[in-house]
Amino acid sequence: MNVTQDLSIIELVIQASLVVKLVMGLLTAVSLMSWYWIFRKWFAIRDTRIKTDKFERDFWSGGSLDTLYQSAVNDRHHTGALERIFEAGFREFTKLRGQRTLDPSTVIDGVRRAMRATYQREIDDLEAHLAFLASVGSVSPYVGLFGTVWGIMHSFRGLASMSTATLAAVAPGIAEALVATAIGLFAAIPAVLAYNRFAHDVDRVAVRLESFMEEFSNILQRQLK
């Protein structure tokens, strides 16, 4: 086997020690899982933004709140986060407004609590698995480095049985060890970039939802006067 064959990526992986192979396999599995969640989160956040834009247009078009509420109730399985927040708030408003003993501030407080509970569930759903991406981004390089250190140690231990130590003797072992670090970086870099992007997007969505809750509360408060 010539040097080029020895140092090909496939041959390096095949010839790696058991520990380095386990590290490479773990990092590959983690990388594939992170890519799965990257695509899932991208589609989920995009879908949330599209449905939020649509409901805001419908809400501020001047239509009846009762009509919007009935539409949200009838199509509950296809509504977006903002529409579900509106539904929770308006349902609570309708229920509390019928109780004549309650003053307007109590009614609005109840509406805000209902919307806040739904808001928290929606944000928790959007933030789900972002911690996994953050963990992959922070831990994968160190796992790859562990595989590299182990591989280099394995290569230098093999020199003890050789009468003459040459670079050619340790080069394949060092190269296979460095592949572990490369796979670790391959897993970490997309996860870090995706986490930062998605965290920013979720924050922007959260601001839009909170702004709507305040504006909607003010609208309902005016209706009670």
pLDDT digits (tens, 9 = 90+) for 57-111: 999 998 889 999 998 888 877 889 999 999 999 999 999 887 777 788 899 999 9
Per-residue pLDDT tens over the stretch 119-140 = 999 999 999 999 999 999 999 9
Give the model's pLDDT for residue 4. Answer: 44
CA-wise closest residue to 45 among 72, 11, 74, 80? 80
CA-wise closest residue to 91 among 207, 210, 214, 220? 220
Per-residue pLDDT tens over the stretch 162-198 = 656 555 556 666 777 788 888 899 999 999 999 999 9
Per-residue pLDDT tens over the stretch 72-86 = 888 877 889 999 999
With a pLDDT cut of 70, the percent of the chain lying above it is 85
Give the model's pLDDT for residue 97. Answer: 84
On whether the CB atoms of residues 176 and 13 are closer than 8 A, the answer is yes
On whether the CB atoms of residues 80 and 47 are closer than 8 A, the answer is yes
Domain count, the chain: 1
62: which DSSP letter?
A: T
- Mean pLDDT along residues 51-55: 94
CA distance 43 to 31: 19
On whether the CB atoms of residues 208 and 52 are closer than 8 A, the answer is yes
Give the model's pLDDT for residue 153. Answer: 80
* Domain hosting residue 23, numbered range: 3-223
Q: pLDDT band at residue 209, thresholds of 50, 70 and 90?
A: very high
CA distance 175 to 161: 20
How many other CB atoms are there within 10 angstroms of residue 143's CB atom? 21
